[in-house]
């Protein structure tokens, strides 16, 4: 069997890689070609194009890069036709993947979509295109099944793959882990800084995050995105001596006492490691005003969306300022804050459906390929 995966971001690379591992356990002869990242390559996929060349955020940024996006679409379509897979597996990344899904459907290529686009947040009209173009939809958030059912589209809720990724990690002894990071625990708590994965958001989020931890004189480490390099972070911060880790975000979260996190999948990852967090987001003024008029959800973090209530504090746009971040970081580091968030995080885990998501997703993929 031949499969073609497309993942356009770091989170998609992670989840697709775990699905590929599960697929190979169940179907060792599977051939996999993909657009994705290092993790998918390590799992056994032949990578055609890396996601670092695909990630554009915000309405304005997309318009500025429209020629590159159209060129990538053309290249991708040709490569899929040349490869002729049994199933095309699309992983999140809706701006690109929904166009590919429509094109593939017209050519009789089976389409399985893993990790639903967040159409419940905005552009709900996309559900009609998904019903038309996608053969199987696998969702990882519990409320998505009911959302699609309201449009008479049956989907499979497989659970959230982050639960597996975290459960399978070897245990880290705190003192040893801190020592490996060069952290002196006597100098105060460790705050993880997760400023995002795209250049635009890192430029916007990182400077104020650094101001915050320095104002509180705590230990801190930056989680470097695998798609960026050290010199970029040094340029953004104006410093050459930054405590930064690449490819070890989970190692950092395993040890952190609190975290400052740019909105995205990282908010959920941080919560599943039981780390008290402040969720931050600030985009370009134009992109924010457009999104404000289109988005139909009460929260921006996945933690709050799954729980359907405010569990972690969200500091968005004008609220993202030093005094607010300091206040919320102090709460995260307090005993009251830690105890309250830990209890909420345990409830969150239960709502996410337990472990085994990648295995269930692979089983459905194989069944679909053979049908």
- In contact, 2 and 86? CB cutoff 8 Å: yes
Q: For 319-332, what is the mean pLDDT?
A: 97
Tokens 């989840």, located at residue: 15
Q: Which long-range contacts (CB under 8 A, 24 or more apart) does 123-131 make?
A: 123/294, 124/296, 126/94, 126/98, 127/151, 127/153, 129/98, 129/101, 129/102, 130/98, 130/101
Q: Choose the weakest-confidence range: 5-14, 266-275, 285-294.
A: 285-294
pTM value is 0.78
Query: Taking Cα atoms as reference points, which of 36, 42, 6, 37 lies closest to residue 21?
Result: 42
Q: Tell me the pLDDT band of 95, cut-offs 50, 70 and 90.
A: confident
- Which one is predicted more confidently, 169 or 367? 367
pLDDT digits (tens, 9 = 90+) for 128-150: 999 999 999 999 999 999 999 99
Tokens representing residue 175 in the block: 């003192």
Q: Note the pLDDT of residue 168.
A: 79
- In contact, 86 and 1? CB cutoff 8 Å: yes
Q: Kindly list the domain boundaries of the chain, sorted by start residue.
A: 2-159+356-370, 168-351
Q: For 56-70, what is the mean pLDDT?
A: 60
Q: In CATH, which of 3.40.640.10, 3.40.630.90, 3.40.50.2000, 3.30.2310.20 is domain 168-351?
A: 3.40.50.2000
Strand pairing category for 110-114 and 31-36: unpaired
Q: Note the pLDDT of residue 71.
A: 84
Q: Choose the weakest-confidence range: 16-20, 35-39, 160-164.
A: 160-164
What percentage of the chain carries pLDDT values higher than 90? 70
> Is 288 a residue whose pLDDT tops 60?
no
Query: Domain 2-159+356-370 - what CATH class?
Result: alpha beta
| Residue-averaged pLDDT of the chain | 90
Q: Note the pLDDT of residue 179.
A: 86
Q: Choose the weakest-confidence range: 52-56, 90-94, 300-304, 315-319.
A: 52-56
- In contact, 39 and 52? CB cutoff 8 Å: no
Query: Taking Cα atoms as reference points, which of 115, 121, 140, 92 lies closest to residue 299?
Result: 121
Cα 362 to the chain's mean position, in Å? 20
Quick check: helix, strand or coil at residue 227? coil
What percentage of the chain carries pLDDT values higher than 70? 93
Q: For 194-209, what is the mean pLDDT?
A: 93
């Amino acid at each position: 069997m031949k499969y073609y995966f497309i993942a356009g971001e770091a989170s998609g690379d992670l989840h697709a890689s775990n699905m590929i591992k599960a697929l190979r356990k169940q179907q060792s002869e599977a051939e996999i070609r993909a657009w994705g990242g290092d993790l998918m390559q390590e799992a056994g996929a032949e990578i055609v194009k890396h996601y670092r060349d695909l990630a554009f955020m915000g309405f304005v940024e997309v318009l500025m890069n429209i020629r590159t996006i159209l060129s990538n679409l053309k290249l991708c379509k040709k490569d899929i036709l040349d490869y002729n897979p049994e199933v095309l597996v699309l992983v999140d990344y809706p701006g690109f993947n929904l166009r590919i899904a429509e094109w593939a459907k017209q050519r009789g290529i089976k389409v399985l979509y893993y990790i639903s686009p967040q159409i419940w947040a905005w552009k709900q009209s996309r559900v009609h295109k998904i019903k038309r173009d996608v053969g199987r939809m696998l969702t990882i958030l519990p409320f998505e099944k009911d959302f699609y059912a309201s449009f008479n589209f049956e989907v499979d809720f497989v659970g959230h793959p982050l639960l597996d990724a975290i459960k399978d990690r070897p245990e880290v002894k705190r003192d040893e882990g801190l020592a490996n990071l060069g952290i002196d625990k006597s100098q105060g708590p460790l705050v993880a800084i997760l400023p995002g994965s795209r250049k635009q958001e890192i430029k916007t989020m990182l400077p104020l995050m650094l101001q915050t931890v320095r104002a509180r004189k705590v230990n801190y480490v930056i989680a470097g995105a695998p798609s960026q390099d050290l010199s970029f972070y040094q340029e953004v911060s104006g410093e050459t001596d930054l405590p930064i880790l690449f490819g070890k975000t989970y190692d950092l979260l395993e040890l952190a006492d609190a975290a400052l996190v740019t909105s995205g999948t990282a908010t959920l990852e941080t919560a599943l490691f039981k780390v008290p967090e402040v969720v931050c987001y600030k985009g370009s003024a134009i992109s924010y005003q457009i999104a404000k008029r289109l988005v139909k959800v009460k929260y921006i973090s996945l933690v709050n969306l799954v729980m359907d209530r405010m569990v972690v504090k969200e500091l968005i746009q004008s609220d993202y300022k030093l005094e607010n971040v300091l206040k919320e970081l102090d709460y995260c580091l307090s005993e009251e804050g830690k105890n309250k968030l830990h209890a909420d995080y345990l409830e969150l885990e239960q709502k996410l459906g337990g472990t085994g998501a990648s295995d269930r997703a692979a089983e459905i993929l194989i069944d679909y390929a053979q049908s």
